[in-house]
């Protein structure tokens, strides 16, 4: 049976962020994820997790100025120092929250930047991050994101992700496989997840088109959930979708699984 985590960045927007932990627990979720924890004290987040018996499944490394449209800095040659500082901050938060895996967002390649320099920067940064995180018992994940939603995003395919991991030489870097993003970029969801199962540490979902809850689009989620069980996937599935109406009204799809 799949293990589902509520993405608190996208779900329960009807309530304040710190109240979303309780809402997720009341709905039957046992795990949570969200983009970034850094706006809140570690102690406050840890208290919310403990109070509602929730596991922190995932959060991202610092990713630049999100409000201004930045979507990661790991591939930006002029931001290496900032990236490395962010790794240290990530270790502090992930350790305090008991979070055993974190995701790195590559970002949008600078216009006109030398392609080889961008690649070298990203590989060097993930190698650095993987080493620091491994010392703290934390996995580093890389997510490929579709270029329809984020034009120019540097990491946008499964094979590219695997090639970058291989180039790093690290055994502490894994794939965060987002079904929605890879449906838009590649298709072949079931075959890809089976082929690369040993490198996939986390899965996320949303339906397509619309990035709404399962059952609103073209992706056969009941089949994929059975498939993930059949191939032996042991990780969490993060529910990172935009509710078509309100969160609670859109949770009918998950009731058989919680």
Q: What is the pLDDT of residues 24-39, one digit of tens each?
A: 999 999 999 999 999 9
**Residue 1: pLDDT over 90:** no
Task: State the pLDDT at residue 2.
Answer: 83
**How far, in Å, CA of 52 to CA of 22, rounded?**
6
- Summarize the confidence of residues 68-77 as an average pLDDT: 97
Catalytic residues: 143, 240
Q: How large a percentage of the chain has pLDDT more than 70?
A: 100
pLDDT at residue 193 is higher than 80: yes
Residue 124: per-residue pLDDT: 98
Percent of the chain scoring above 90 in pLDDT: 97
Measured between alpha carbons, how far is 169 from 171 in angstroms, rounded to an integer? 7
The mean predicted confidence, pLDDT, of the chain is: 97
- CATH code given to domain 3-254: 3.20.20.150
pLDDT at 58 over 80: yes
Question: Of the ranges 16-25, 89-98, 124-133, 249-258, which one carries the lowest mean pLDDT score?
Answer: 249-258
Strands 200-205 and 3-7: unpaired
The CA angle 163-160-235, to the nearest 5 degrees, is: 85
Average pLDDT over every residue of 109-132: 96
- Given a contact cutoff of 8 angstroms between Cβ atoms, the answer to whether 145 and 178 are in contact is yes
Q: What's the confidence (pLDDT) of residue 198?
A: 98
Q: How far apart are CA 174 and CA 161, in angstroms?
A: 9
Q: Is the pLDDT of residue 180 over 80?
A: yes
Q: Which stretches of 109-254 are assigned E, i.e. beta strand?
A: 139-143, 173-178, 200-205, 236-239
Picking from 246, 221, 230, the residue whose alpha carbon sits closest to that of residue 4 is: 221
């Amino acid at each position: 049976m799949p293990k589902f985590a509520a993405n608190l960045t996208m779900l329960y927007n009807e309530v304040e962020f710190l109240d979303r932990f309780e809402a997720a627990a009341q709905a039957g979720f046992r795990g949570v994820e969200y983009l970034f924890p850094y706006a809140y004290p570690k102690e406050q987040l840890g208290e919310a997790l403990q109070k509602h018996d929730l596991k922190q499944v995932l959060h991202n490394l610092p990713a630049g100025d999100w409000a201004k449209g930045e979507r990661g800095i790991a591939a930006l040659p002029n931001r290496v120092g900032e990236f490395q500082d962010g790794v240290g901050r990530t270790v502090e938060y992930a350790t305090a929250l008991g979070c055993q895996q974190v995701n790195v967002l590559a970002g949008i390649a600078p216009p006109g930047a030398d392609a080889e320099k961008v690649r070298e920067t990203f590989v060097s940064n993930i190698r650095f991050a993987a080493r620091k995180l491994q010392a703290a018992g934390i996995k580093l994940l890389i997510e490929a994101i579709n270029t329809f939603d984020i034009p120019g995003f540097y990491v946008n395919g499964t094979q590219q992700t695997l090639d970058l991991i291989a180039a790093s030489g690290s055994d502490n870097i894994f794939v965060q496989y987002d079904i929605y993003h890879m449906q838009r970029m590649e298709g072949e969801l079931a075959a890809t997840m089976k082929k690369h199962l040993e490198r996939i540490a986390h899965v996320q979902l949303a339906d397509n088109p619309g990035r709404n809850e399962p059952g609103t689009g073209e992706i056969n989620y009941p089949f994929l959930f059975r498939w993930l069980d059949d191939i032996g996937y042991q990780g969490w599935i993060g529910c990172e979708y935009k509710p078509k109406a309100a969160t609670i009204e859109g949770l009918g799809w998950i009731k058989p699984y919680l």
